[in-house]
Amino acid sequence: MKLMIHALTFSMVALFATSASTALAEESAADSINVADGYVRAVPPVSPTSAAFMKLTNTGEGTHQLKSAESDVSEFVELHTHTMGENGMHEMRKVEQIELPAGETTELKPGGLHVMFINLKNPLEPESQVDVKLNFEDGSSKQLSLPVKKMVPMQGMDHSKHMDHSQHMK
């Protein structure tokens, strides 16, 4: 009698172990995607928009897609890219998803792919943190806390020094 119970217990343990290892073999997109160097652009209080940038490395065997992002900082959160318009100007465009090929690092960076925050609810203070959730194609998701960073203005875009200078001239 005692032996039978032991045998039963053993087979139940074996069953659990089998199902657990099956679950592990099926890695979710969120498990496969490593996020590095993520940050959100600091913007002056008057700005209605900002963006998040980061490096997404797919360490898994298959291609994954970033389908959407969520955050409390703005009314809308969209996945965007920059394209060169017919007028030769950079234009932002919404994309349905961001492809994350296996074994590759996909970089979200200024002038390229980014997570766009539209209609900010509060100013983004430098050194504060922004919670951003990334949603992948298989329903898995990744919760991030990204620092807000001041961006170095692009060359020729920084008119603030000019204005200071002219004020001194008066």
Interface residue list for Cu ion (CB under 5 A): 80, 92, 116
**Minimum CB distance to Cu ion, residue 89 (Å):** 14
| DSSP per residue, 47-93 | --EEEEEEEEEE-SSS-EEEEEEEESSEEEEEEEEEEE-TTS-EEEE
Rank residues 48 and 153 by Cβ distance to Cu ion and give the closer one: 48
**Minimum CB distance to Cu ion, residue 77 (Å):** 11
Rank residues 35 and 92 by Cβ distance to Cu ion and give the closer one: 92
Rank residues 32 and 98 by Cβ distance to Cu ion and give the closer one: 98
**Minimum CB distance to Cu ion, residue 34 (Å):** 24
- Distance (Å, rounded) from C-alpha 113 to C-alpha 49? 15
**Count of CB atoms situated within 10 Å of the CB of 106:** 19
Quick one: tokens of 2? 């005692």
